[in-house]
Amino acid sequence: MAEIRFRLNVIPRGQARVRHAVRNGRSIAYKTADQQADEQTLEALMMPYVPKICLSGAIDLRIAAYLPIPKSKPKKWQNRALQGEVYPTTKPDADNVAKNITDCLVRMRFLEDDRQIVHLSCSKLYSDSPGYEILLRELEERK
């Protein structure tokens, strides 16, 4: 059972919606420049952890997104956030965070396809050290 665990020190962001435009009478879909830059940053940070061969079979993926504590909040609130008593209910949405990470994992060949993910957990927490903690675990088939 293979397991890959790593931390990415970057402020978590969600997957942006695909934009649409009409050019020369044709409808096209594209990613914004910000989204492309976010993906390039994530991929560069993931590079040292890419396995020699992709994980195969069923995958358990756990993502913890640590968001920065807002400076505009009172010190008492900030301390409660650090203690885990206050949760980030603001953007980015947890499902968009997970989508951003899973898309990068597939492009980087950690796994063949995101359909392999049978268990997905994505949590959002406050921290004075923003980033992602990612755990990919290959599950054994039950007999």
- Each domain of the chain, given as residue ranges in start order, spans 3-138
> Which residues in 9-47 belong to E strands, given as ranges?
19-23, 26-30
Domain 3-138 = CATH 3.30.420.270: no
Rg of the chain taking only CA atoms, in angstroms: 17
143 confidence band (pLDDT: 50, 70, 90): low
Residue 2: CB atoms within 10 A of its CB come to 13
What's this model's pTM, rounded to 2 decimal places?
0.86
pLDDT for position 22: 82
pLDDT at 8: 96
Higher-confidence residue: 143 or 36?
A: 36
Rounded CA-CA distance 70/77 in Å is 10
Q: Is the pLDDT of residue 61 over 90?
A: yes
| H or E stretch at 107 | helix 94-107
More confidently predicted of 39 and 17: 39
Structure tokens given for 52: 């020699």
Task: Give the pLDDT confidence score for residue 62 in this predicted structure.
Answer: 98
Q: What is the C-alpha separation between 124 and 132, in angstroms, rounded?
A: 9
Instruction: Decide if pLDDT at 70 tops 90.
Output: yes
**pLDDT at 66 (0 to 100):** 96
Mean residue pLDDT of the chain comes to: 91
* pLDDT above 80 (res 128): yes
% of the chain exceeding 90 in pLDDT: 73
Structural contact between residues 131 and 7, judged by C-beta atoms closer than 8 angstroms: yes
**How many helices (H) and strands (E) in the chain?**
3, 6
List % helix, strand, coil for the chain (3-state, nearest 5).
30, 35, 40
Percent of the chain with pLDDT over 70: 97
